[in-house]
Amino acid sequence: MAGSFVIGLMSGTSADGIDAAILQTDGQKFQNTGCSGSFEYRPETRNGIWAAVANAYDHMHDALARQHLDRLIAEDHANAVLKLLDSSNQSPALIGFHGQTIYHNPSGSDGHPLGRTTIQLGDAALLAAKTGLPVVHDVRRADMAAGGQGAPLAPVFHAAMLARLAVDLPAVLVNIGGVANLTWVANQTGVKDGAGLIGFDTGPGNALMDDYMRLYCDADFDKDGALAASGIADTTLVDVWLDEPYFTADWPKSLDRQAFQHCLDDARLLAKAPADAMASLALFTANSIAAAIDQLPAPPQTILIAGGGRRNLCLKAHLQNRFGGAVKDGNFVGDRSLFSPDMLEAELMAFLAARHISGLPTSFPATTGCHRPVCGGVLVRPV
Ligand SMILES: Nc1ncnc2c1ncn2[C@@H]1O[C@H](COP(=O)(O)OP(=O)(O)O)[C@@H](O)[C@H]1O
Ligand SMILES: [Mg+2]
C-alpha cells in the first residue's frame, strides 16, 4: 500500500472532544491502521468553545479571548497527538487538523454581522511546534473563496470508503454528528473524479437533542436515545418544523450547528414533558435525514450510518422503519480495520491532508458548489 502515515484530528460541532486516527494514505488509496482514540477537551477549553459558539461575533472581536482559546484548542490537540503516538508503533509524517468550528455561514444572506464565512479555531503553528510535525489546516477557506459552501468536505472520503466496502450501489453514507450530512454514490465512476458524487448537510444531527438534554435534563446527551424512546412525538409539530425551505432546497447546501436553535424556543416544545420533547426532536432529526434521502436521484440500496448519532437507537429505529433493511449500522462491516464508524471524520482529516500534499481536489462543484474542483488546506511546518 502506497502512502505515508497521517494523523487526522477532528472535533465536530458536538464539541464532545477530539477524535484522532492514523491512516496510511496517499490521498487516493487508504488503509486504516486501527490506531485511534478519543480525547476529551479540558473543561476550560470546552467552556470557551461553547461561549464562542453562543456568540461568535463577540469572540472574534476580542483578540485576547481569541488567542487564548486558539492556544487551548491547539494544546488539547497536541496532547491528543502525543498520547496517540505513545500507543502506536507508527511514525506519522503529517497531521490533518480540522480545528473547532464556531460559525459557519455559507451564504451570508441572513444579515449576521460576521457575514459569509466559516470559522475554525485552533493555532496550527502551535500544534506543529508542540508535535514536531507539519500540519495541514484551514481546509475550508479555499473552497469558499472559489464560491463553495466550504462544506461538506467528507464526500471524497465517504465515496472512497463506500467503494472499498463494496456495498450495493447506489449507496448513501450518513454521518450523524452535531449536524448530519450525507454522501451519495451512484456508481463506481463517481468515486474517481467527483462526477456522480452528491453531498450535503441534511439538517440537525445530535445538536438539538444534545442542547435540550443540557438545558433541561442535566446530561450531555440522551444515552442510547432512551429518553426519546420513552416519549410520544408530536407529529404535527415535527411537520411544522419540516416545512422550512432548507429541507426542499437543492444541493449544494450546508448548515451552521445553530441553524435550528429556534425549535428549542418553540412554546409547543417547551410545554412538553422532557420525554415527549425529546421524542419530537428525535423524530424531527430522523425525518429531516429521510427527507434528504428522498431528494436523491434514486432510492439507495445501502444507507450506511456513522457518527455518534448512530448510537441513538430511537433515531436509528425511525430510519429503519422508513428505509427497512437498507439501513446498515457501521457495525455491519464487522471488521474495524475496514470501517470504524466513530473515527470516520478523523480519518477524513488524514485523507484530506494527504490530498492537499498531493495537490488533489478536496471538494467538487457537486459537493460544495465551488466553481471548479478545489484543493483546500494550508500547510504549516514545525519550526
Ligand atoms: N450512546 C449514545 N447514545 C446516544 N447518542 C450518543 C451516544 N454516544 C454518542 N452520542 C451522540 O453523538 C454525539 C457525538 O458524535 P460525533 O460523531 O462525535 O459528533 P461531532 O462530529 O459533531 O463531534 C454526542 O454529542 C451524542 O449526541
Ligand atoms: Mg465528536
Task: Determine the pLDDT at residue 14.
Answer: 87
pLDDT tens readout for residues 55-82: 999 999 999 999 999 999 999 999 999 9
pLDDT at 236 over 90: yes
89: left (phi over 0), alpha (psi -120 to 50) or beta: alpha
Ion ligand 2 nearby residues (CB, 5 A)? 12, 14, 16
Average pLDDT score, the chain: 94
CA-CA distance, 133 to 114, in Å (whole number)? 32
CA nearest neighbour of 153 among 326, 331, 368, 375 = 368
Count of other CB atoms within 10 angstroms of residue 261: 14
Task: Determine the pLDDT at residue 189.
Answer: 60
Q: Please say whether the beta carbons of 256 and 225 come within 8 A.
A: no
Ligand that lies nearest to the alpha carbon of residue 101, given by its number in the listed order: 1
* Residue range 255-271: mean pLDDT, rounded: 96
Let me know the angle formed at the C-alpha of 332 by 32 and 291, rounded to the nearest 5 degrees: 100
pLDDT at 316 over 80: yes
pLDDT at 271 over 60: yes
Alpha carbon of 156 to ligand 1 centroid (Å): 23
Ligand 1 atom with the smallest distance to the CA of 312 is 4
Sorted by sequence, the CB contacts under 8 Å of residue 271 that are 6+ apart come out as none
96: left (phi over 0), alpha (psi -120 to 50) or beta: beta
115: left (phi over 0), alpha (psi -120 to 50) or beta: left
Annotate the chain with three-state secondary structure: CCCEEEEEEECCCCCCCEEEEEEEECCCCEEEEEEEEEECCCHHHHHHHHHHHHCHHHHHCCHHHHHHHHHHHHHHHHHHHHHHHHCCCCCCCEEEECCEEEEEECCCCCCCCCCCEEEEECCHHHHHHHHCCCEEECCCHHHHHCCCCCCCCCHHHHHHHHHHHCCCCCEEEEEECCEEEEEEECCHHHHHHCCCEEEEEEEECCHHHHHHHHHHCCCCCCHHHHHHHCCCCCHHHHHHHHCCHHHCCCCCCCCCCCCCHHHHHCHHHHCCCHHHHHHHHHHHHHHHHHHHHHHCCCCCCEEEEECHHHHCHHHHHHHHHHHHHHEEEHHHHCCCCCCCCCCHHHHHHHHHHHHHHHCCCCECHHHHCCCCCECCCEEECCC
In which residue are the cell numbers 444531527 written?
205
Task: Determine the pLDDT at residue 163.
Answer: 85
In which residue are the cell numbers 412554546 written?
267
Alpha carbon of 308 to ligand 1 centroid (Å): 3
CATH code of domain 4-151+345-380? 3.30.420.40
pLDDT band at 329 (very low <50, low <70, confident <90, very high): confident
The residue contributing the CA closest to ligand 1 atom 19 is 177
pLDDT band at 237 (very low <50, low <70, confident <90, very high): very high
Alpha carbon of 311 to ligand 1 centroid (Å): 7
The residue contributing the CA closest to ligand 1 atom 23 is 12
- Ligand 1 pocket check: which of 100, 217, 227, 312 to mutate, most ligand atoms within 8 Å of Cβ? 312
pLDDT at 340 over 90: no
Alpha carbon of 211 to ligand 2 centroid (Å): 15
Burial of 31 (0-12, 13-18, 19+ CB in 10 A): middle
Look at 176 and 162; give whichever has higher pLDDT.
176
Alpha carbon of 176 to ligand 2 centroid (Å): 10
pLDDT tens readout for residues 139-168: 999 999 999 999 999 999 999 998 888 888
pLDDT tens readout for residues 362-383: 999 989 999 999 999 999 999 8
pLDDT band at 191 (very low <50, low <70, confident <90, very high): low
CA-CA distance, 129 to 127, in Å (whole number)? 5
CA-CA distance, 62 to 316, in Å (whole number)? 41
The residue contributing the CA closest to ligand 1 atom 7 is 311
Percent of the chain with pLDDT over 70: 96
* Residue range 32-50: mean pLDDT, rounded: 95
- Ligand 1 pocket check: which of 76, 220, 285, 311 to mutate, most ligand atoms within 8 Å of Cβ? 311
Ligand 1 atom with the smallest distance to the CA of 223 is 3
Alpha carbon of 222 to ligand 1 centroid (Å): 9
CATH fold, domain 155-333, is Nucleotidyltransferase; domain 5 (3.30.420)
Look at 291 and 111; give whichever has higher pLDDT.
291
Alpha carbon of 376 to ligand 2 centroid (Å): 22
* Residue range 335-353: mean pLDDT, rounded: 89
- Residue 260 amino acid letter: F
When mean pLDDT is compared across 116-130, 233-247, 254-268, 330-344, the lowest value belongs to 330-344
Task: Determine the pLDDT at residue 101.
Answer: 97
Residues within a 6 A CB radius of ligand 1: 12-14, 16, 177-178, 206, 210, 221-225, 307-309, 311-312, 345
Ligand that lies nearest to the alpha carbon of residue 257, given by its number in the listed order: 1
pLDDT band at 349 (very low <50, low <70, confident <90, very high): very high
Count of other CB atoms within 10 angstroms of residue 57: 12
Ligand that lies nearest to the alpha carbon of residue 17, given by its number in the listed order: 2
* Residue range 224-241: mean pLDDT, rounded: 98
**For the chain, what are the domain ranges?**
4-151+345-380, 155-333
CA-CA distance, 163 to 336, in Å (whole number)? 16
- Ligand 1 pocket check: which of 206, 254, 255 to mutate, most ligand atoms within 8 Å of Cβ? 206
pLDDT at 192 over 70: no
Look at 383 and 293; give whichever has higher pLDDT.
293
- Ligand 1 pocket check: which of 76, 221, 281, 329 to mutate, most ligand atoms within 8 Å of Cβ? 221
